[in-house]
Amino acid sequence: DFKQVFHTDNSDLVHDILCLANSIGDEDRNLIFGIEDWTKAVKGIDSCPNRKTLAQIMNILYNAKLNHLPKLEMHTVSI
């Protein structure tokens, strides 16, 4: 799933992560920030005020009181 910027609402972030985590299949699922969804144009996230670290995202998921936390990895790619 491509997102041009990070979520402004944490519940939207949790929703997107859970949708990917619950999708059927054994392949990896990716939530990619800094890419426009329709055109796939690279927009970047350097100046995104809502940018989050993996620790922040895991804390949001933990505070959502989920039965099971999905396994997440975060990678930054510079182009």
pLDDT by residue (tens digit) across 44-59? Answer: 888 889 999 999 999 9
pLDDT by residue (tens digit) across 17-40? Answer: 999 999 888 889 999 999 988 898
| Token couple for 31 | 């939530």
Residue 9: band (very low, low, confident or very high) from pLDDT cuts 50, 70, 90: very high
Per the DSSP assignment, residues forming a β-bridge with 3 are: 33
**What is the distance between the alpha carbons of residues 42 and 34, in angstroms, rounded to a whole number?**
6
pTM of the predicted model, to two decimals? 0.85
* The length of the chain, given as a count of residues: 79
Helix (H), strand (E) at residue 3: strand 2-3
Q: How many whole angstroms from its chain centre is CA 29? A: 10
Q: Is residue 42 a contact partner of residue 35, using CB atoms and an 8 Å limit?
A: yes
